[in-house]
Amino acid sequence: MDIEVRPLEAAEVDAADAVFRDAFSTVLGPGAHRDTELVRTRFRATHTAALGAFVEGEVAGSTLVTRWGSVAYFGPLSVAPKLWGQGIGTRLVAAAVDVLDGWGAGHQGLFTFAQSQQHHGFYQRFGFWPRFLTAIMSRPLTGAEPQLGWRMSVVPPAERAALVDACADVTDAIHPGLDVRGEIASVLDQNLGDVVLIGEPDAPRGFAVCHAGPGTEAGSGVAYVKFAAVRPGPGVAQAFDSLVAACQGFAADAGAARLTLGVNTARHEAYRQLLAAGFRTDSPGVTMHRPNEPGYDREDVRLLDDWR
């Protein structure tokens, strides 16, 4: 089979999205991604690379590669079900690894099914090794959750740059070079949600990049914490509780009935605090790392994310 892998073009994104939905619905059940938008929103983001696989000129699969400063990951990876087992996934992973290496990302990873030996063995061929589980968790909302902290969207554009830099200081204190300024810009520029902050206005203690509603990575009736972090130091547990509560207030204000987030269980204290706050695991996955190192998955780290 003649397989071409190259960056997706704008005119090919709809076809890539259709393949993505078909592939994951085949595995997870019909309508697995409902009215969420992932392929299109990430394609438009400046910190991602979208790769397509083509067979006879038609989109046969794709993957998205995301850069968070010194950390980068790829996924989701999807191939048209009728073409499974033809080597398309192998070509896409090889191309994604080339992008990760070209970026100079010191810590690389992916998220995959925790129960799939086939997936684990496949990605191990490229130097990715399974670490701890990532729990995709959620809790229902009453709609009466208090509004806590503040939101970046209300900050005048001229003042946002300094605030975004302050968020980068928070992540750098957790893992050198970890930087999610691209996620912040994507949410604000595409009107996908907002960035919730706690702490002092000129020196936030923590922040959360949140999606809400249809056309985002959350979907109807849902708010989703794409990334959240609290600066390490005294009082970090209380600050984390405050940030999670602020996310719940944002979700309720957005009209969501449920708040969803991800946490790697190697961040044990964060996981325990989420359980105490009423969150329960909807589905587990596993992160695979290259090289086989923990990165920022440490017991004391208060950080929410998942590499789906």
CATH class of 138-283+294-305: alpha beta
- Distances in Å between the Cα of 78 and the Cα atoms of 22, 39, 64, 186, 237 are 9, 11, 10, 23, 38
pLDDT, tens digit, 9 for 90 and up, residues 182-209: 999 999 999 999 999 999 988 999 999 9
Question: Tens digit of pLDDT for each residue in 234-276?
Answer: 999 999 999 999 999 999 999 999 999 999 999 999 999 999 9
Residue environment code for 101-137, b if the CB has 16+ CB neighbours within 10 A, otherwise e: eebebebbbbbbebeeeebbebbeebebebbbbbbbb
User: Could you tell me the two tokens for 24?
Assistant: 């994951």
Q: What span, in angstroms and rounded, lies between the C-alpha atoms of 172 and 178?
A: 5
Burial label for 221, CB within 10 Å (0-12, 13-18, 19+), is middle
pLDDT in tens, 82-138: 999 999 999 999 999 999 999 999 999 999 999 999 999 999 999 999 999 999 999
Residues in contact with 278: Cβ distance below 8 Å, sequence separation at least 6, in sequence order: 139
Locate tokens 């914490």: which residue? 225
pLDDT tier, 22 (very low <50, low <70, confident <90, very high otherwise): very high
Total H helices, total E strands in the chain = 8, 13
Rounded distance between C-alpha atoms, residue 157 and residue 55, angstroms: 44
Q: Looking at the domain 3-105, which fold is it?
A: Aminopeptidase (3.40.630)
Q: What is the pLDDT of residues 151-188, one digit of tens each?
A: 999 999 889 999 999 999 999 999 999 999 999 999 99
* Identical fold between 3-105 and 138-283+294-305: yes
Provide the residue ranges of all domains of the chain, joining segments of one domain with +. 3-105, 138-283+294-305
pTM above 0.95, yes or no: yes
Please report which confidence band the pLDDT of residue 1 belongs to, taking 50, 70 and 90 as the band edges.
Answer: confident
Strand partners, 3: 55
